Amino acid sequence: MSQAQIIDGKATAERIRAEVAVEVAALKAEHGLTPGLAVVLVGEDPASQVYVRSKGEHSKAVGMHSVTHLLAADTRQDDLLALVETLNRDPAIHGILVQLPLPKGLDEKAVITAIDPAKDVDGLHPMNIGLLAQGQKALVPCTPLGCMIMLSDALGDLTGKRAVVVGRSVLVGKPIAQLLLAADCTVTIAHSRTRDLAAVCREADILVAAVGRPQMIKADWIKPGAAVIDVGINRVPFRDPVKAAAGKTKIVGDVAYKEASAVAGFITPVPGGVGLMTVACLLRNTLTAAKRIAGLEA
User: Mind telling me the catalytic residues?
Assistant: 55, 99, 122
- The span from the CA of 199 to the CA of 175, in Å, is 23
Looking at residue 14, its amino acid is E
User: What letter would DSSP give residue 217?
Assistant: B
Say how far apart CA 53 and CA 81 lie, in whole Å: 22
Measured on CA atoms in the order 224, 225, 231, 233, is the torsion positive or negative?
A: positive
- Across the chain, the runs of DSSP E, i.e. the strands, are 5-6, 36-42, 65-71, 95-98, 162-166, 186-190, 206-209, 227-230, 234-237, 249-252, 266-267
Given its phi and psi angles, is residue 295 left (phi above 0), alpha (psi -120 to 50 degrees) or beta?
left
Element housing 15 (H / E): helix 9-31
